A and B are shown apart, each in its own frame.
Chain A
């Protein structure tokens, strides 16, 4: 195995192991999602930050924690790729509804 390949496989291994590790070809969406998730998990981990939010929002700490964890699922909305896919499907459905012919290549 060449040196370059082994480096690549090592990097891949690291990325598998440590969620959130970036790489040179990271997309903006991926980067921001990771960053948001890191931030939210830090909020949840620091009790004092959590209570600060709870006071500011006049909510219980449990509720604030739950909301933050929920936000971690999709902090920046659905990924652009899946959104594109959805758009295409929607367009096809619309065209079919209008009785137009759709040719798949």
Chain B
């Protein structure tokens, strides 16, 4: 069997972070390392939010990162120390939104070895040199400079080795423009240390300074002095205006890394849902079930909305947007009829299309009305800033244009003799007066794209087949896809043409989205000149007919697709992305912007109106956090009530907290009393608990001290039903629900515990299995009895009406957090293996069905390995085969990097595989959407 490995949720734990101006602008950016991937974050100073700009897998282990800037430069480069035996200098290219490798210097073997540098990195604050060090002995210094073309150059390494030393920390010292100096913190363990020290069993911690003599091109050990033996972190303290820095040593007992890894999530149960999280701003009930919803901005230039228009059957409600949302009657919009379309047109006017005509409300409140001919009624309408197209019952389409005087005039008419079901005009392209295409769909397809050119009015230019399915809605929108092409030198004229074509593609792209009645959405790219449709993608969105609405996001235009689930189609890091939104099913939606929320969404669901914003576009999982008291170890689901039963165990913790003298004594009291947790106001309490953990952390109790809880959690409202505290030093290790064959289907809970367990060396006072009975409808636990056993039971399982317990050391200890399970992730999708890791990654292994797919992905992976070598210089195959040789598993993360390659490279890989780039892109996207989300 062949499997396809794909990361669904990227790792959440952060191991390193650096600050710098990586894109070369004044904007401060943060680069974080997730251990195996890099992420560039940009904080927004106005609203305090952080947006993710770029996320890249490096297929290597990042052990250290450092920023540096050449003298008088404006841009920070990034140095990465990894387990590849190489040092890599990266530059962020903001145009392509990509990291580019500037230099790669090899100095040692691969792997996290004792004497191969990579663990420590220090840069000269003036950007003239950097030092890279191993845990033991080896340190290398590289000199950085610029050549005549202002490109970064790197020297061959200078050695600063010292054997028999273990390095604890390293940093660069600010010496202005003197010779660069690096400070290290190390311990000498050579055998000739005198006997006094042997007795004390700790050696001298030495602070050593190394000077790089730029003139002589060598590194010398300047001086060395003894410091406190518990010193463990070096950092520079800025001093003077531009003179030599004051160097100081920080005896930090708790290094910052602690805070960066995020200690808060350690004691929580996270419930993850695939979908963008939202924040609701306002909500109000409406008098009926609305049929349409629009927002009207103040004027064409001003994006702030003035009105929200809601249409019902037989009436229209106009709400004005201000401090509050109120009904208004003087808007000029006819209130006594159903509206089909209300939207701004021209510079300052509004059109309202209703069944019997079109009402054109000008900026000065003059109203022009156009009446539908005879007894015909308007069934559909669409418009952009200058054009209006309506469909009458019976299949007649009429096209209007806004003339120079700002009046709407009929231009053309066409009879289709078929009932029209959907109508959509393309938006006006930047720098043009009119849009050139309108798309129409009828009850049994296909979708036709008609031209609006003067010489070819309302004639068909292209067709999209929908397999005779009822077309529910259409949407045309422009999106900025990809990034600009670099100025490349093409060898032949055909290559230039190809490149230009690609360049067109990579900017504003006009998409035609088709929503079908069966919940399927089709998307195609419309050629801006000929109107040809290409690159069709299909996706199942839900069970209800698909409707679309335009919304505005910070990153540009986006489309909300409404079915039984709500999906957002938007451009994320230069890629077209489609993600469900975690919100109840919506009937109508529209983009909404006010002073307070520039990129909100107003929507209706049954008879409720609500306004919300999508908070984090990069966060594809919606998380619910249930704070726990201790580190959660395992959980089971009760087979009948579906309550979650979990065990939490904390090492190094006192069960009875000593009551502090003054502040926070009541917090402590609460902490001791689990009853409060169960009945009291959860939120307030949790805040207290959180601050308690953060600030006044209880003293470490020492080895062999444990605190454990068993918790029963209701999975719908995340309410804790019961919390059982175990005795002091009793640590819960495993649990299982069990139905004993002689107890008539009653469910018991078995918990394996150890008392006074010491981790290293392994020791245990006593161990037992606790058996609990569920009482009160499974909500509370009652201890039945404890069975003494000789070793800690690490694994317990229900086995044919008996309890199977692994006690002896034949059964291995399974990792606490890491987990793997078999499940199906998408509706009707195949079963996949889903795993979670300690770093917070969630990934999936998808089995391949056809041999053809296996061959395709194998060769794609092969090409990607050659054409796109991992960023930090590690060999991809060696990295993936580090613990065990990779066999029959294809790395989806590598294959998906194809999407972010530049078009010329995409083309060359595609040629090798004898396919077209769009075919490959489609295949990658289809695999993700059909098998996963």
Chain A residues within 8 Å of B, Cβ to Cβ: 16, 18-20, 37-38, 41-42, 44-48, 51-52, 55-63, 66, 69-70, 72-74, 78-79, 81-82, 85-86, 89
A41-B114, A47-B35, A74-B189 known; A58-B651 Cβ under 8 A: yes
| 18 sample A-B contacts, Cβ–Cβ < 8 Å, listed by A number | A16-B163, A41-B113, A41-B114, A41-B136, A42-B112, A42-B113, A47-B61, A47-B63, A51-B13, A59-B700, A62-B252, A69-B135, A69-B166, A70-B202, A73-B202, A74-B203, A82-B195, A89-B195
Smallest CB-CB separation from B62: which chain A residue?
A: A47
Residues of B within 8 A of A44 (CB): 112, 119, 135
Q: Report whether A55 and B136 are in contact in the complex, using a CB–CB cutoff of 8 Å.
A: no
Q: Is chain A's interface secondary structure helix, strand, loop, or mixed overall?
A: helix
Complex: chain A residue closest to B651, CB-CB: A58
Q: Which residue of B lies closest to A19 (CB)?
A: B115
Q: Which B389-409 residues have a C-beta within 8 angstroms of A?
A: none
Given A45-B112, A62-B256, A79-B191, 15 additional A-B pairs, CB 8 A: A16-B163, A19-B163, A41-B136, A42-B113, A45-B61, A48-B35, A48-B839, A52-B815, A52-B838, A55-B266, A58-B653, A62-B233, A69-B232, A74-B203, A89-B195
**Is B472 close to A, CB under 8 A?**
no
Q: Do the beta carbons of B114 and A37 come within 8 Å of each other?
A: yes
Q: Which of chain A's residues have a CB closer than 8 A to the CB of B837? A: 48
A41 touches B112 (CB 8 A): yes
Query: In the complex, how many angstroms separate the beta carbon of A60 from the nearest chain B beta carbon?
Result: 4
Tell whether, in the assembled complex, residue A73 and residue B189 are in contact, meaning their CB atoms are under 8 Å apart.
yes
Encoded as 1 (CB less than 8 Å from any A CB) or 0, chain B from 228 to 260 comes to: 000011000000000000000000111111100
A73 with B35: CB separation less than 8 A:
no
Residues from chain B with Cβ under 8 Å of A55 in the complex: 266, 631, 816-817, 838
Residue of B nearest to A89 (CB): B195
Mark contacts of B264-295 with chain A using CB atoms, 8 A cut-off: 1 yes-contact digit, 0 otherwise. 00100000000000000000000000000000
Distance between Cα atoms of A69 and B189 in the complex (Å): 12
Instruction: Give Cα A86 to B200, complex, Å.
Output: 13
The one of B189, B198, B258 that contacts A86, using a Cβ cutoff of 8 Å: B198
B187: which A residues are within 8 A, CB to CB?
A: 70, 73
CA distance A18 to B202 in the complex (A): 25
Bound CA span A19–B252, Å: 30
Residues of B within 8 A of A70 (CB): 187, 202
A73's partner among B118, B203, B232, B652 (CB-CB below 8 A) is B203
Which B residues are closer than 8 A to A by beta carbons?
A: 13, 15, 35, 61, 63, 83, 112-115, 118-119, 135-137, 163, 166, 168, 187, 189, 191, 195, 198, 201-203, 232-233, 252-258, 261, 266, 631, 650-653, 700, 759, 815-817, 837-839
Is there contact, CB below 8 Å, between A20 and B115?
yes
CA distance A58 to B166 in the complex (A): 25
In the bound complex, residues from chain B placing their C-beta under 8 Å from that of A16 are 163
The complex places the Cα of A20 from the Cα of B815 at a distance, in Å, of 31
Contacting residues, chain A, for B13 (C-beta < 8 A):
51
Which residues of the partner chain A approach B651 to less than 8 Å between Cβ atoms?
56-58
B112 A46 Cβ-Cβ under 8 A: yes
Which residues of A are found within 8 Å of B83, using beta-carbon distances?
45
B193: nearest chain-A partner, CB-CB: A82
Q: Are B112 and A62 in contact, CB atoms less than 8 angstroms apart?
A: no
Contact A66-B168, Cβ < 8 Å, known A41-B112, A52-B838: yes
The answer, among B136, B266, B631, B838, for a CB contact under 8 Å with A48, is B838
Find chain B residues with CB under 8 A from A73 CB.
166, 187, 189, 202-203
Pairwise interchain contact B257-A38, C-beta atoms closer than 8 A: no
> CA–CA, A65 to B261, complex, Å?
14
CB atoms of A62 and B195 under 8 A apart: no
> How far does the alpha carbon of A45 sit from the alpha carbon of B167 in the complex, in Å?
13
Residues of B within 8 Å of A66, CB to CB, are: 168, 232, 255
Q: Indicate if the CB atoms of A37 and B254 lie closer than 8 Å.
A: no
Task: Across the interface, name the chain A residue whose C-beta is closest to B189.
Answer: A73
Hey, which chain A residues are within 8 Å of B135, CB to CB?
41, 44-45, 69, 72
Interface pairs A-B: 8 shortest CB-CB: A45-B112, A62-B255, A60-B258, A41-B114, A58-B652, A41-B135, A58-B651, A66-B232
B-chain residues with CB within 8 Å of residue A19 when the two chains form the complex: 114-115, 136-137, 163
Which chain A residue shows the least CB distance to B707?
A58
Q: Find chain B residues with CB under 8 A from A20 CB.
A: 114-115
In the assembled complex, the Cα of A52 lies from the Cα of B252 at a distance in Å of 22
Whether B119 and A45, one on each chain, are in contact in the complex, defined by CB atoms closer than 8 angstroms, is: yes
Q: How far is the CA of A102 from the CA of B328 in the complex (A)?
A: 112
Query: Which residues from B are CB-within-8-Å of A57?
Result: 651-652, 759
CA distance A11 to B815 in the complex (A): 42
